[in-house]
Amino acid sequence: MTIHWTAVYVLWLREMKRYVRAKSRIIGSLAMPVFFLAFLGLGFRRMQIPGMGEGTGYIGFLAPGIIGMTLLFSASMQGMSLLWDKEFGFLKEIMVAPVSRVSLVLGRIAGGTTTSMIQGLLIFGASLVLGFRLPGVGALAFGFVFMLLIAFTFIGLGLIFASRMKDMQGFGIIMNFIIFPFFFLSGALTPLENFPWVIRALSYADPLTYGVDGLRAVLIGRSSLPVLVDLAVMIGFALIMLFLGAYFFEKSEGV
């Protein structure tokens, strides 16, 4: 199957221009994560986390979870862009272009991943200002891998729902209903060990759990699961979600 890289680049560039021009979108997407970091991270900064060791304060525990939350919300809501293109006819126009559907999917994924990663890195920068300490540059490089996998996973989820829906308002409501359980079950705010066993079992079915735990493993050297387990599970989730997202995108009624 031929991939038309010019089409991938054009769709990626379009998403970048839309993102840069929408100043309110950038500020609005960063406000809630920064509030979580500032009020929870500073308010509980002296609290020791069970199982995380003496040197890990709450800001160190919280920062990877808030980075994961930022990627979750940003990537999942990328489906809104697809619904906008359906609404105004742009999607139908690009679908009749002489390029493969795979190229169109890759362009959307590339654009959504880049904007999500930008937001995640901005939150990482905010966490450094608030007192988070990075063990080294290598840790950031490995953290970047987990951030990419989180973005891929939830961009795929957003494409699945956006491909099956036509109402933008309905999409926002449905996605908020879905992504908040992902967030709270992931252990982003509290250790998994504090959950009752029923909730903990549900947490292990949540892909964000492994993404956040993997980020903690590489950024602070503490985690609930082995980092290789986190990495393997996240790769599996990312591949499955991207495949399903591309499949439903191609079968979308709006095209």
Q: Which residues contact 47 (CB under 8 A, 6 or more apart)?
A: 57, 58
Distance CA 55, CA 132 (A): 12
| DSSP secondary structure of 56-88 | --HHHHHHHHHHHHHHHHHHHTTHHHHHHHHHT
- Taking alpha carbons only, the member of 72, 12, 3 closest to residue 237 is 72
Cα–Cα dist 202/73, whole Å: 20
Three-state DSSP at 51 gives: coil
Q: pTM for the full model?
A: 0.87
State how far the Cα of 47 lies from the Cα of 57, in Å rounded to an integer: 6
List of residues 6+ apart from 50 with CB closer than 8 A: 191, 193, 194
| DSSP 8-state symbol, 38 | I
Break the chain down into helix, strand, coil percent, rounded to 5.
75, 0, 25
Q: What is the pLDDT of residues 205-225, one digit of tens each?
A: 999 999 999 999 998 888 888
- Rounded CA-CA distance 101/107 in Å is 10
Give the model's confidence band at 54: pLDDT under 50 very low, under 70 low, under 90 confident, else very high.
Answer: low
pLDDT at 234: 94
Q: What's the pLDDT tens digit per position in 2-44? A: 777 787 888 888 888 888 887 777 777 777 888 888 877 776 6
pLDDT of res. 80: 76
Over the chain, what is the mean pLDDT?
A: 81
**Contact (CB, 8 A) for 76 and 152:** no
Range in 105-109, 118-122, 142-146 the model is least confident about: 105-109
- If you search the block for the tokens 């880049």, which residue do you land on? 114
- pLDDT of 77 > 90? The answer is no
